[in-house]
């Protein structure tokens, strides 16, 4: 459980990162707003409270690592990294434009602070397991944090990684599923039903928790519990809402990658500033 001051600070940061993400995408005119907005709370928790990192030394030895395997959520990862000081904030307005260091999907060769290139669904998860194994072999006390999507969890590669990570007893791998119930152009229940996602991970011998992914206290409780489990990797399944904080995208199928007008951005930002989600 977070103390009141920390909780308020993180809530404020989550609001700022959501506003920054909306502005980034509105400047370009369209983008992956849905899946970027649904992970903001866990991003903020990791970057402002949990991870041992140094923005002035992005490749610091022994640091905690972060892999956003659903690489299309790049815009909210970039908003977070810019706010942390990994690169100037004005880079955000170059999102996915020619010559940018911020492509639509996360790229470790372009963006300071990105630990692994992602976008081909499933691959970031395997990379994260490899990184966690490397940390373990080196005897580091650090953790690897991984976010995967629920649609992404339909990839066979995810389950190969699941078997590998539990066989290797990767207690330093803490993963999150962004269970927003939507994928590229439909609801998961209509494509491949993910309702039994908890028991699937349990079946692969992971430590499994299920939380509200927009509740910072719940995220804190789950991460602290996961860190205590040293003999198995952890999966924290986060019930989230796709496009949370950008109201024009909530509850519609086309919110995966959509046009974001300056007018819609303005009203969504005003709502966030007024205290709405
Ligand atoms: C291997 C692979 N197949 C297909 C795609 C195209 N694609 C990009 S995002 C996406 C849907 C992902 O859904 P989900 O993981 O639920 O993401 P979110 O809801 O968080 O946006 C698909 C099919 C891809 N990037 N990689
Ligand atoms: Mg999804």
pLDDT in tens, the chain (277 residues): 999 999 999 999 999 999 999 999 999 999 999 999 999 999 999 999 999 999 999 999 999 999 999 999 999 999 999 999 999 999 999 999 999 999 999 999 999 999 999 999 999 999 999 999 999 999 999 999 999 999 999 999 999 999 999 999 999 999 999 999 999 999 999 999 999 999 999 999 999 999 999 999 999 999 999 999 999 999 999 999 999 999 999 999 999 999 999 999 999 999 999 976 5
Residue ranges of domains in the chain, CATH in brackets: 4-273 (3.40.50.970)
Å from CA of 151 to ligand 1 middle: 6
Give the helix/strand (H/E) hosting 173. Answer: strand 173-179
> Is 15 touching ligand 1 by the criterion CB < 6 Å?
no
Distances (CA, A) of 209 to 7, 84, 236, 244: 21, 28, 5, 21
On whether the CB atoms of residues 152 and 69 are closer than 8 A, the answer is: yes
d(CA 263, CA 276): 17
> Is 248 touching ligand 1 by the criterion CB < 6 Å?
no
Å from CA of 148 to ligand 1 middle: 10
* Side-chain-side CA neighbours of residue 167 (13 Å): 7
> Is 58 touching ligand 1 by the criterion CB < 6 Å?
no
* Side-chain-side CA neighbours of residue 208 (13 Å): 16
Å from CA of 230 to ligand 1 middle: 30
CA-closest residue to ligand 1 atom 17: 149
**Atom number in ligand 1 closest to CA 184:** 11
Global confidence as pTM: 0.98
If one residue of 183, 237, 251 were mutated to test the ligand 1 pocket, choosing by the most ligand atoms within 8 A of its CB, it would be 183
Q: How do residues 8-58 score in pLDDT, each as one tens digit? A: 999 999 999 999 999 999 999 999 999 999 999 999 999 999 999 999 999
Q: DSSP 3-state assignment of 182?
A: strand
Closest CA to 170 of 136, 204, 126: 136
């Amino acid at each position: 459980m977070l103390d009141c001051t920390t909780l308020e600070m993180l809530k404020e940061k989550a609001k700022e990162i959501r506003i920054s993400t909306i502005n980034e995408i509105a400047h370009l005119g369209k983008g992956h707003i849905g899946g970027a907005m649904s992970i903001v709370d866990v991003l903020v928790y990791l970057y402002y409270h949990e991870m041992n990192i140094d923005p002035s030394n992005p490749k610091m030895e022994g640091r905690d690592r972060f892999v956003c395997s659903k690489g299309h959520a790049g815009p909210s990862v970039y908003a977070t990294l810019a706010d942390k000081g990994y690169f100037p904030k004005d880079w955000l307005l170059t999102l996915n434009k020619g010559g940018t260091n911020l492509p639509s999907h996360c790229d470790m060769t372009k963006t300071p602070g990105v630990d692994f290139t992602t976008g081909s669904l499933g691959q970031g998860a395997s990379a994260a397991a490899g990184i966690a194994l490397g940390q373990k072999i080196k005897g580091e006390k650090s953790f690897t944090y991984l976010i995967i999507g629920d649609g992404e969890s339909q990839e066979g590669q995810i389950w190969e990684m699941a078997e590998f990570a539990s066989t290797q007893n990767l207690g330093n791998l803490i993963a999150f599923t962004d269970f927003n119930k939507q994928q590229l152009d439909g609801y998961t229940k209509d494509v491949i039903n993910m309702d039994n996602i908890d028991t699937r991970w349990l079946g692969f011998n992971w430590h499994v928790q299920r939380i509200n992914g927009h509740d910072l206290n719940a995220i804190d409780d789950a991460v602290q519990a996961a860190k205590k489990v040293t003999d198995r990797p952890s999966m924290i399944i986060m019930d989230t809402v796709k496009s949370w904080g950008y109201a024009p995208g909530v509850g519609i199928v086309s919110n995966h990658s959509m046009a974001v007008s300056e007018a819609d951005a303005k009203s969504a930002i005003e709502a966030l500033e007024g205290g709405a989600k």
